A and B are shown apart, each in its own frame.
Chain A
Amino acid sequence: MLNDTLEFGVTSRNLPALGTEPYRGQQPWGMLVQQTAISGGTLVLTGNTASWVLDAAKKLEALGKLPAGWDSYGGLPLDSNAKMLTVSVLGWLGRNDLPVPAVVLGSAGTVQLEWRAKGKELEVELGKDNAVEFVKVYPNGDVEEGEEKANLPQRLRGLTRWLLYD
């Protein structure tokens, strides 16, 4: 269940409880205006958080309600680690002015975020380990794919910069 609560001010007790321990402490900071508790993680919304983040979080929560076999081909329910990684990603990208992404459930319970902007597409798949697979589709139809395993916050911000500016 999505539970929105309003809180003001930031203290140490507001530290987000995210599932990807290595990245704890890399959240955007500022005045905390809303803390959204998603089962399996906490997303901290500050005054600088873009509006798309809450919409994406609600979509993510909806994915968690789908049972095994949801795709008619034996698809697995949302994986808890993929969900927590997605919550982390929303936090890392929360200051970027992105469109609302499609939040797509994979058949292995993974999550794929999909953005379209300026004739480009960016797909980011978040799996059971802390690795991220991405696909970039250029306006001319060229496709580039890759995988990121380290420095995920910086790498993901780089991918979204490509989508919006490059």
Chain B
Amino acid sequence: MPRQDDPTLSGEIALLRRIPPWADRVTWDEHGRPAASSQNFKDKDEELSVFIEVEATVEGVQAGHPGFGLVRFSAQQVRTVCGPTIIICRDPLDPGPLGHVLICGRITGSMRQKLKGLAQWVEGRWPARLDPISGQPIL
């Protein structure tokens, strides 16, 4: 069944996305701050999973995923950056994960760059810092 845009998913509704600590999905600057790769905003099926913060909660989104970081951006930011090439809808699975939302459509490289710049780390939810080759924690 084709996805249909849900216009109520807009404005300042905060969306959360997990960021893996491995696969170079995060790099660290000289001040020890993480930067998420633009690949974190691309999905192989062009259905990017995110979670509505007030429904899923920060703790709920991270549950079962130790070491993962968490970024936040708004539904309006997604709509502004991506325009009509995407739709935002709730996960049609019933029951799906709580607050699970899909951003459907092709998110181009320049859009991913903009989303990367807009996404903010959730306070206290940086990913674990791992060596990209050994996978061991960097203390």
> Interface on A for B, CB 8 Å cutoff?
55, 58-59, 61-63, 65-66, 70-76, 102-109, 112, 114, 123, 125, 133-135, 137, 143-145
Residues in chain A near residue B108, CB distance under 8 A: 145
Residues in chain A near residue B134, CB distance under 8 A: 62
Min CB distance, B97 to chain A, in Å? 11
Secondary structure type dominating chain B contacts:
loop
CB of B76 closer than 8 Å to a CB of A = no
Residues in chain A near residue B25, CB distance under 8 A: 71, 104-105
Other A-B pairs beyond A59-B132, A59-B133, A66-B23, 17, CB < 8 Å: A62-B133, A70-B20, A70-B22, A72-B18, A72-B65, A102-B37, A103-B132, A104-B24, A104-B37, A105-B23, A108-B44, A109-B44, A112-B37, A112-B38, A125-B109, A135-B113, A143-B110
Residues in chain B near residue A105, CB distance under 8 A: 23-25, 39
Q: Quick one: closest B residue to A112, CB to CB?
A: B39
CB of B11 closer than 8 Å to a CB of A = no
